[in-house]
Structure 1
Amino acid sequence: MSTVNYADRDPALRPLLDRVLSADDRVRVEPLLDELGALAGGELDRQAALADANPPQHVPYAPDGARIDEIACHPAHDRVASIAYERFGLAAMSHRPGVLGWPAKVPHTVKYALSYLYVQSEFGMACPLSMTDSAARVLRLFDPERYAAEIAALSSTDPGRRATGAMFMTEKQGGTDVGLTETVATDRGSHWTLTGGKWFASNPGADVILTLARVPGQGEGTRGLGMFLVPRLRPDGTRNSVRIDRLKDKLGSRSIASGEVTLDEAYATPVGRLTDGFRQMAEMLNVSRLSNAMRATALMRRAVRESVDHTRVRQVFGKPLFDQPLMRATLLPMILDTEAALHLVVEAAARLTAADEGDRSAQALVRVLTPLAKYTLCKRARTVTGEAMEIRGGNGYIEDWVNPRLVRDAHLGSIWEGSSNVIALDVLRCMRRQNAHATLAGTYGDRPATRDRWELLRKKGDALLQLPSEVQEMSIGRYAGELTRAVMETLLHDQADHEVRTTGDGRALLVARTYSATLDDPDPAALPRPALDHFAALADGGPVPLARLQEDDRV
């Protein structure tokens, strides 16, 4: 059976990595792109479909009646997990040197680029992967000595030693309002116990669970919350008192388990200072939100590729759909937004690497880039995957094809780790506290191609902050989208400048100019002529002569 290499079919990925990675890292990542791209287009895709069709099952009791609360998984689930955790170390590479041969920790840019290829076939596993990665990060940042063994297990690629992580945050009465958490922590001297219920608990069979609980005497709301580590097994090897009440029957992300969990005086130990619980969870959430944006981008790329391939072979009224003007007008924004999204995710990853190295300006940028990416890209993924389903027609609605799974999974991104409104309000919080819109304009607003847009957005943000608070909240969603698109536009022009200078190819310039043109006027009748003339290069990659672009002032 022939397979498609998803790295080879991506017109933007390798050129982008050429620009953002060091020469040594670019050499190191190339064989991994080739291997994972082939797996994603072949075995991983087949196993992911099996795992989605055969979701995990809850086994509450052993044959003798003992409570065991195990999760039984299809072999396909275990195979897609082994590719992620063991072969490619996607949960390990940010925490120790040596993963995949890197002399130091793998840069976040590499991690997200590889994860982006992986998720194009297997979305669900990215949830426990992200939580495992984030759990190791939080423990490293806030309590590395006490939890050295747990960090080592979470960052292991050895199938006999590796552990998975989970984040139990949501409670039935609280939802997004974590300050309403009712789970109570009790100090037992050598350890604590937690009692309460968690309403959405993905990867409920995890080895290492991080959760919030109310510390008596510490206060109300979020300030009263401490972070605790709840192990699957107590130190004596017995099963901890974490009862899985039932698994969720989910619309998507079916390959991994999510459940409702009761903590019945569960053994727990504090993470760092108990007064820092909410801040620690926010750190975990922020990284998970960037992962959500990456996953949305991967779903868009898969949907676009499926649509391009379908329209090339589907004949309607005597010629392929791909050559029909209305279909090109439909595909073009999908192609542009997908490519722009990849640039934003990689940019945020690069800034996260710098932030982790102590760069204060990068820390400020990551703080706002992450919610912007999560807000805009997850919403756009729902539209792009839905459009791709319609492009395939009736077959797109049939489970024999990947489109239904892409649509189901895309809707989760706008809910997981904060719904769109919650994320937009987080952007507003960044603006109020850190003048984040001015930080963005100061970082990205000096390029000639986008300078005017950034000046307008800076003034618009200043004006927004002068409005009554309820009007600010009503307006922030639209403004957050405008900020995100301006960042992506700037990044596309940065890539265009790089490719024109280093390769002499005009494809990236065509992408950037067409993206700018669609922001200025989304009317399909106003599409730049060169975008239609070189549509195959936009869809599949390939050279675009610079001379052709320079001759046509309609771009």
Structure 2
Amino acid sequence: MVTPLSTARPDTHEVTNQPPPIAPYDASEDAALLEGLEREGAAWAVPDVRRLGRLAGSPEAQRWAEQANTHEPVLRTHDRYGNRIDEVEFHDSWHQLMRVAVAEGGAGAAWADDRPGAHVARYGGALVWGHTEAGHGCPTAMTYAVIPALRQQPELAAVYEPLLTSRVYDPGLRVPTEKRGLLAGMGMTEKQGGSDVRTNTTLAEPAGEEGLYRLRGHKWFTSAPMCDLFLVLAQAPGGLSCFLVPRVLPDGSRNTFRIQRLKDKLGNRSNASSEPEFDGTLAWRVGPEGRGVKTIIDMVNCTRLDCVAGSASLMRKALVEAAHHARHRSAFGARLIDQPLMRNVLGDLAVESEAATALTLRLAGAADRAVRGDEGEQAFRRLATAIGKYWVTKRAPAFTAEALECLGGNGYVEDSGMPRLYREAPLNSVWEGSGNVNALDVLRALAKEPAAVQALTDELALSRGADARLDAAVTRLGTELGDLDGIQVRARRLVELMALALQGSLLVRHAPAAVADAFCATRLGGDGGYAFGTLPHSADLGAILGRAGLTER
């Protein structure tokens, strides 16, 4: 005989022990960020960064981020009549994200702002607005970065810079000078060379008018093809040169920019990355013939710093998500945030996040002061940006995987948002030069730019005597720099040591003792393991988690 079910049985779908939605939250609630802005000369920007941080953590902005990645861009090569149009359609949520990013100065606006700290303020905004999604940060980063390169051709800069520094997002392909604001991209790599741009085969032939050329060739990875202007590299009669390519010509006709396909990428689904083909495409030379790499290198230096900032922002977002889950989830009779081992994991992640944020803002400060003529900061920026690009972007994938694991199985499900962060995490270590390219760039600077080496040495000297483990690491670094035997094989180890010493120096000088001590013990003193969550038992986890704002919210 079957026993009847009780009429008072509990609901089988009652939801318990699950965290509430994280939004709304304040993405700027980060002491390391706010203190760094003040330290690097952008205290005046803190109210705006706080406001933007609240918007970034709002349900509306988080929904935009999800929808922009769910509804991916679509390539339209032809219109209904068969005319070639080469346009990319985006979901409205992408446009909403772009509208805010441009209005808040995330594109080129800092170059039109004379206030000291303007570039630091831009990166502060990027660190909090990055809590939405990373794809739309690509066109804003390139628009910011194109300006110093474009200034090498003053007559072109006079036409386009006022529109590239605009805070108005004005999408759609139209005559650039008839728009209220412009976006810029770049096309350097080709399928046969990748980072080795000197092997480019795209040809540039003079078109009669001074400075005007016609391009013919194929680019392998050109992101954000809906931008208005592009800086590209091509082989002119005098060698590899830099050119400005508008999508729409001054007479209103479409320049030849045939988008062959959009890339099917691991992450960054919201942003379109493409393969454009040039065939008689009109282009204006930027800088002298044969100096293309030198002309565009200022752009690369800027976008490399955006890679550092993007990874730092992604790491902080992943940490905030992990801590939110741990505060509201219980296991074995206690909240996860109160479990000693989980506290160690979150504390270790918090130390790493603060180190990444501190380095990002130090680099932003150097960039800001270099623009204003500080030669010492320019030298420091030259070497330290490559170091930061190598190391911070390398740490992001492991960091994000650990944060995802804090959510357990919930973190492996798309609804949590963590898989999107995890897919995004490797991007910045690939974009603007892989780890090997950046490590070799550091070696190049060490060999050819003694002022950069001296600037780094001077920076590290500021913390001398504050921590014995840091002092020992700096001494070891000096020994490594004095030994050129097998230097290329050892390049990654050398750059890693430089990055850790630099981060340690920043934390010892500017972070609370608990954070600095944990960093030096584990990253420099050998009192830690390979995985996150291996801080020594003596680490002040309460102070570290409190500093990061992770304990109560």
TM-score by length of 1: 0.88
Note the alpha carbon deviations across 1:185-204, whole angstroms, 9 max, x for none. 00011121000000001011
The answer to whether structure 1 residue 208 and structure 2 residue 241 are counterparts is: no
Matched, 1:413 2:428: yes
Deviations 1:445-474 (A, max 9, x none): 242215773565355445445333xx2111
SS in 1 for 2:498: helix
Deviation at 1:485, TM superposition (A): 1.2
Q: For residue 112 of structure 1, what is the aligned residue in structure 2?
A: 123
- Tell me the CA shift for residue 29 of structure 1: 1.8
Listed as ranges, the matches of 1:537-552 within 5 Å are 537-540=546-549
Equivalents in 2 of 1:328, 1:542: separation in Å?
A: 10
Could you say which residue in structure 2 is the equivalent of 1:148? 158
Residues 1:482 and 2:467 aligned together? no
- Over 3 Å counting, the alpha-carbon distance change for 1:456 and 1:391 in structure 2 is closer
Matched ranges for 1:262-411 at <5 A: 262-411=277-426
Q: Cα–Cα, structure 1 residues 340 and 430, in superposed 2: closer, same or farther, change >3 Å?
A: same
Amino acid at match of 1:184: L
Change (3 A) 1:7 1:270: same
2: CA distance, partners of 1:180 / 1:328: 50
Match of 1:94 among 110, 114, 126: 110
Instruction: Give, as a single letter, the amino acid of the residue that structure 2 aligns with 1:155.
Output: T
Offset at residue 532 of structure 1 (A): 2.8
Q: Which moved more, 1:144-153 or 1:199-208?
A: 144-153
Contact residue 49 and residue 125 of structure 2 kept, 8 A: yes
Structure 1 stretches of 4+ with a deviation exceeding 6 A read: none
Counting matched residue pairs gives 513
**Distance in 1 between residues matched to 2:417 and 2:267, nearest whole Å:** 12
Tell me which residue corresponds to 2:516: 512
Give, in whole Å, the separation in 1 of the partners of 2:446 and 2:356: 22
C-alpha separation in 1, matches of 2:303 and 2:22: 35
Equivalent position to 1:177, from 196, 221, 225: 196
CA distance in 2, matches of 1:490, 1:324: 31
Q: 1:302 offset after TM fit, Å?
A: 0.5
> Quick one: which of 107, 115, 130 aligns to 2:141?
130
Partner AA of 1:137 in structure 2:
P
Contact 1:445 1:451 in 2 (8 A): no
Superimposed CA distance per residue, residues 469-512 of structure 1 (whole angstroms, 9 cap, x where no aligned partner): xx21111111211111111111112214xxxxxxxxxxx22211
- Aligned AA (1:270): R
- Paired residue for 1:38? 54
3-state SS in 1 of match to 2:253? coil
Q: Could you tell me how far 1:31 is from its partner in structure 2?
A: 2.7
Which of the residues 62, 79, 82 maps onto 2:96?
79
Q: Which amino acid aligns with 1:534?
A: A
1:12 and 2:28 aligned: no
- Cα distance in 2 for partners of 1:259, 1:442 equals 43
Structure 1 stretch displaced more, 347-356 or 294-303: 347-356
Amino acid at match of 1:307: A
Q: Bigger relative contact order, structure 1 or 2, given CA contacts below 8 A and separation 6+?
A: 2
In structure 2, C-alpha distance between the alignment counterparts of 1:2 and 1:463, rounded to whole Å: 46
Secondary structure in structure 2 of the residue aligned to 1:540: coil
Q: Relative to structure 1, is the Cα distance of residues 289 and 8 closer, same or farther in structure 2, using a 3 angstrom cutoff?
A: closer
Name 1:501's counterpart in structure 2: none
Structure 1 partner of 2:206: 187
SS at match of 1:385: helix
- RMSD, aligned α-carbons: 2.1
CA 1:105/1:149 → structure 2, altered by over 3 Å: closer, same or farther? farther
One-letter amino acid of the structure 1 residue matched with residue 40 of structure 2: V
Structure 1: distance between partners of 2:39 and 2:111: 24
Tell me: CA distance 1:198–1:406, structure 2 relative to 1, closer, same or farther (3 Å).
same
> Displacement of 1:38 after TM fit?
1.3
State the secondary structure of the residue aligned to 1:157.
Answer: coil
Deviation at 1:30, TM superposition (A): 3.0
- What does the per-residue CA deviation read over 1:222-277, in whole Å, with 9 as the maximum and x for residues that have no partner? xx211000111122110001100010111111111101110111001101222321
Amino acid in structure 1 at the alignment position of 2:144 = D
SS at match of 2:277: strand
Asked if structure 2 preserves the Cα contact closer than 8 Å seen for 1:202 and 1:259, the reply is yes
Asked if the contact 2:439/2:495 (under 8 Å) is kept, the reply is yes
Aligned pairs for 1:42-57 within 5 A: 42=58, 43-57=60-74
Distance 1:168 1:526 in 2: 44
Greater CA deviation, 104-113 or 31-40? Answer: 104-113
Question: What amino acid maps onto 1:352 in structure 2?
Answer: A
The C-alpha deviation readout for 1:272-291, integer Å capped at 9, x for no partner, is 22232111121111110000
Greater helix share, structure number? 1
Consecutive unaligned residues in structure 2, runs of 5 or more: 1-20, 171-178
Deviation of 1:414 (Å):
0.9
Equivalent-residue separation in structure 1 for 2:363 and 2:192 (angstroms): 33
How many angstroms apart in 2 are the aligned matches of 1:346 and 1:67?
44
Counterpart selection for 1:449 from 457, 462, 466: 466
